[in-house]
Amino acid sequence: MITPYSHYKKQQGVALITVMLIVALCVVIASQMTNRLQMQMQRSTNISFNQQAYWYAMGAEAFTKRVLITAFKEDEEVTHLGQIWAQGETTYPVDFGEITGEITDLQSCLNLNALRAPLGQNNNSDSSENSDNNQNNNPSTSNTKVPARLALETLLINLQLEGIAQFEAESMADALTDWLDEDGRISSAGGAEDDDYASREFPYLAANNYLASVNELRIIEHFTPAVINALKPYVCVLPASDVHKININTLNVEQPELLQSLLGSTLDEAQQILSARGEEGFETIAEFYSLPEVTKLAISDDKKDQFVVDSEYFTLKASASFNSSYFAFNSVMKVTNNKYIDVISRTIGRN
């Protein structure tokens, strides 16, 4: 027989268990709320740090504009590696971090977008029969390769890459030309258009427009990672521009293969020209052409038109850190009348 006292004790036990369950549930909820609050606080801190790193990097861009304007006030007609912008990679300490930046002349490399031929203009050499037919159908069509394309083909050969000869270099130039041009017609046997790319396992279409980055070569026919990595020090991309003007004053003396390809000279001749350039380069383009090392090459007018002594396009590779946050970007800038600097492209990331 259950007494009232024992019944009361059982009720107390059930109440105690209930209270313990409630307390345990409250502890779990409080722990989760605390964890979420800590995560939100850490997230807010990270956002704040990242934002500060971003503004540090943007400060580097503003500083670069002032440096370029100062440089071109002193030398209005000439751009050379003795100017204040050409100091290589420089790091500045700031509160709780640092800013690193490097300014590079984008006219000291081969602009791949210069291979883009206007609609209706051929950019390669076909067979004489096809060339004659094209000229009969369209008198404005030319079968002469543009200087930028010739330079790219020659550069690919001069780099002495394994498995790359004249045929492979022309095929890569064909494929790049088709990627850049406005039409959907294959320019030559080595070219590639929509049908070639649409038939792949992961299909896509040819851009038929300017390159946005050198890395875009990865999805163009014939270009392999080995070729792209070898080309990167010598080529670049000017956003939405087919300008092909190489500043002889800012060419890297340690990369004479580009000048060799532009002039059609030997490697030794290109090295001699760069060695004779002097610290402040050539004051005029005529001074460059009158150099004995250049005169003996008897280069054509088309090749002469490739060179300038003044630059308009520059790129800033900047990175900034603040506490544990990091921000990096590349800015492409255009100098207008030595007075104004326009940022025409900004890419976030290390590359």
pLDDT for 23: 84
pLDDT for 158: 96
Mean pLDDT, the chain, as a whole number?
Answer: 86
Name the more confident of 248 and 12: 248
% of the chain at pLDDT higher than 70: 88
Which of 37-51, 90-104, 292-306, 332-346 bottoms out in mean pLDDT, i.e. has the lowest? 37-51
Measuring CA to CA, how many Å separate 156 from each of 235, 309, 348?
11, 25, 29
Measuring CA to CA, how many Å separate 89 from each of 171, 287, 300, 311?
36, 30, 37, 20
pLDDT for 53: 92
Q: How far is CA 126 from the centre of its chain?
A: 31
pLDDT for 123: 53
% of the chain at pLDDT higher than 90: 63
The pLDDT tens digits of the residues spanning 85-96 come to 999 999 999 999
Of 258, 217, 228, 241, residue with least CA distance to 116: 241
CB 159 within 8 A of CB 257: yes
The pLDDT confidence band at residue 128, using thresholds 50, 70 and 90, is very low
Name the more confident of 243 and 142: 243
How many secondary structure helices (H) and strands (E) does the chain include? 11, 9
Q: Is the pTM of this model over 0.85?
A: no
Name the more confident of 351 and 28: 28
CB 291 within 8 A of CB 276: yes
pLDDT for 278: 84
Q: Is the pLDDT of residue 204 over 60?
A: yes
The residue-averaged pLDDT of 35-55 equals: 85
Q: Is the pLDDT of residue 4 over 80?
A: no
pLDDT for 38: 79
Q: Is the pLDDT of residue 9 over 60?
A: no
Name the more confident of 205 and 4: 205
The pLDDT confidence band at residue 280, using thresholds 50, 70 and 90, is confident
Helix residue ranges per DSSP H, the chain: 4-74, 128-137, 147-158, 166-180, 194-198, 225-231, 256-263, 267-275, 285-289, 292-295, 301-304
The residue-averaged pLDDT of 68-84 equals: 90
Distance of alpha carbon 229 from alpha carbon 90, whole angstroms:
25
Which of 133-142, 170-179, 273-282, 328-337 bottoms out in mean pLDDT, i.e. has the lowest? 133-142
Distance of alpha carbon 51 from alpha carbon 21, whole angstroms:
45
| Residue in the structure block whose two tokens are 């390159």 | 211
| Residue in the structure block whose two tokens are 């050969």 | 157
Distance of alpha carbon 283 from alpha carbon 101, whole angstroms:
28
Name the more confident of 137 and 333: 333
pLDDT for 11: 64
The pLDDT tens digits of the residues spanning 156-183 come to 999 999 999 999 999 999 999 999 998 8
The pLDDT confidence band at residue 19, using thresholds 50, 70 and 90, is confident
pLDDT for 73: 87
Rg (CA), the chain: 31
Q: Which of helix, strand or coil describes residue 246?
A: strand
Name the more confident of 124 and 223: 223
User: Mind listing the domains of the chain with CATH numbers?
Assistant: 70-106+312-348 (3.30.1300.30), 112-234 (1.10.40.60)
The residue-averaged pLDDT of 12-24 equals: 78
Residue 112 CB partners (closer than 8 Å, separation 6+): 152, 176, 211, 214, 217, 235, 236, 237
pLDDT for 138: 37
Distance of alpha carbon 329 from alpha carbon 319, whole angstroms:
6
| 8-state DSSP, 135 | H
Amino acid letter, residue 347: T
Distance of alpha carbon 38 from alpha carbon 312, whole angstroms:
50
Q: Count other C-beta atoms under 10 Å from residue 207's C-beta.
A: 16
| Residue in the structure block whose two tokens are 């150099």 | 291
pLDDT for 126: 44
Name the more confident of 112 and 122: 112
Which of 132-136, 142-146, 309-313, 331-335 bottoms out in mean pLDDT, i.e. has the lowest? 132-136
**What long-range pairs does 28-33 form, CB within 8 A, spacing at least 24?**
none
Tokens read off for 167? 């045929």
The residue-averaged pLDDT of 13-34 equals: 82
CB 262 within 8 A of CB 245: no
| Residue in the structure block whose two tokens are 């580097």 | 60
